[in-house]
Amino acid sequence: MNAAVSAHGIHKRFGALDVLKGIDLEVAEGTTYGLLGPSGSGKSTLIRLLLGLSRADAGEVTVRGRPMPDRAILSEVGYMPQAPSLYMDLTARENVAFFAGVQGIRDSAAIDRVLDIVQLRGRADSPLHTFSGGMVNRTSLACALVHGPRLLFLDEPTVGLDPLLRASFWQHFRRLNREGVTIVLTSHLMDEAQNADRLGLIRFGTFLAEGTPAEIVAASGAANLGDAFLTLAEAQG
């Protein structure tokens, strides 16, 4: 098994605050890894560290075998930040075309394809400020996918999506996995986290548990993932 992402002994402080306190994880190629935890638990900070956008105070990160930060590897990586982080005065198509452009790509077929995936082809030429929150989020995902990355970091990709759209996103993630694409995503929703191949339950900057959803549920003795999280959180104090 080749690790697409591996992190060892990650510590990160912001001033007096310990945000991450010794995180270890390995993400296998072609799988989906879910970071599950409440807001403020350190999920986004960990994603930024894995991408090389931020440097750990201790520990090391490698992505596809290269120590981070590494600019060259970023052409194989797609990133969808938690906040939309798009140009609200541009249309969906213009946003996607721009992020394709900074990857050095000018391929209108690729742009149409990702707009189809997020089901925005029909509104592609409307400016984002006319979009609902969910539509902006879908545009953001399209921007992360347009250059055909082998590794995706998605920070809360399904926030603001209705259940139907959320299901179709997960179908697409599965299809990407089958094509060999690795996905690291964060969520605070227990039910959708079941879909991940492996999970890291994170709270106060440490893993409460790490493994497949079934392993975590079994080890905690709870009935489901939500209860498992509560049991483990109470044990942490």
One of 4, 10, 27, 86 touching another protein (CB under 8 A): 86
Cβ distance 41 to 203 under 8 Å?
Answer: yes
Site string for another protein, 38-77 (x = CB under 8 A): ----------x--xxxxx-------------x-xx-xx-x
As measured in angstroms, the least distance from the Cβ of 130 to another protein is: 17
One of 33, 99, 173, 207 touching another protein (CB under 8 A): 99
Report strand pairing: 3-14 vs 17-28.
Answer: antiparallel
Regarding 16 and contact with another protein (CB under 8 A), the answer is no
Does an H or E element contain 151, and which? strand 151-155
Q: In what order do the strands lie in the sheet with 17-28?
A: 17-28, 3-14, 58-63, 66-67
- Which lies closer to another protein via its Cβ, residue 99 or residue 207? 99
As measured in angstroms, the least distance from the Cβ of 163 to another protein is: 27
Q: What are phi and psi of 206, to 5 degrees?
A: -130, 160
Point out which residues bind another protein (CB under 8 A).
Answer: 14, 48, 51-55, 69, 71-72, 74-75, 77, 79, 81, 83-87, 99, 102-104, 143, 153
